[in-house]
Amino acid sequence: MGSLDGQVIVITGGGRGLGRAFALHLAGLGARLVVNNRNRVVDENGLGPADHVVREIRDAGGEAVAEHGDVADPATARHLVELALDTWGGIDACVTSAAVSGPAMFHRSSPEAFEAVIRTNVLGTAQVAAACSAVMRERRHGRIVLVASTAGLHGEPTVSAYAASKGAVIALGRTVAAEGAGRGVFTNVLLPYALTQMTESGMASEHRHLMDPAAVAPVVAALCDPRSTLNGEVIVAAGGGLRSADSVEWGTVLTSETASGTIPAATSGTAPETPPEAASETPPETIPEGSGGLTPARLAELLERSRKGPAHRYANAQDGFLDLAEEMTR
Sheet holding 185-192, edge to edge: 63-67, 32-36, 8-12, 93-96, 142-147, 185-192, 234-238, 241-245
How far is Cα 241 from Cα 10, in angstroms, rounded to an integer? 25
How far is Cα 11 from Cα 123, in angstroms, rounded to an integer? 15
Crossing angle of helices 17-28 and 217-224, rounded to 10°: 50
How far is Cα 79 from Cα 65, in angstroms, rounded to an integer? 12
How far is Cα 180 from Cα 192, in angstroms, rounded to an integer? 23
Q: Are 221 and 25 in contact (CB under 8 A)?
A: yes
Positive or negative CA dihedral for 263, 266, 268, 273?
Answer: positive
Task: Tell me if residue 314 is catalytic.
Answer: no
Catalytic member of 96, 125, 127, 162: 162
How far is Cα 84 from Cα 191, in angstroms, rounded to an integer? 26
How far is Cα 119 from Cα 154, in angstroms, rounded to an integer? 21
- φ, ψ for residue 292 (rounded to 5)? 75, 10
Our CA angle for 315, 320, 324, nearest 5°, is 155
Crossing angle of helices 160-180 and 124-139, rounded to 10°: 10
How far is Cα 330 from Cα 325, in angstroms, rounded to an integer? 9
The residues carrying an active-site annotation are 162
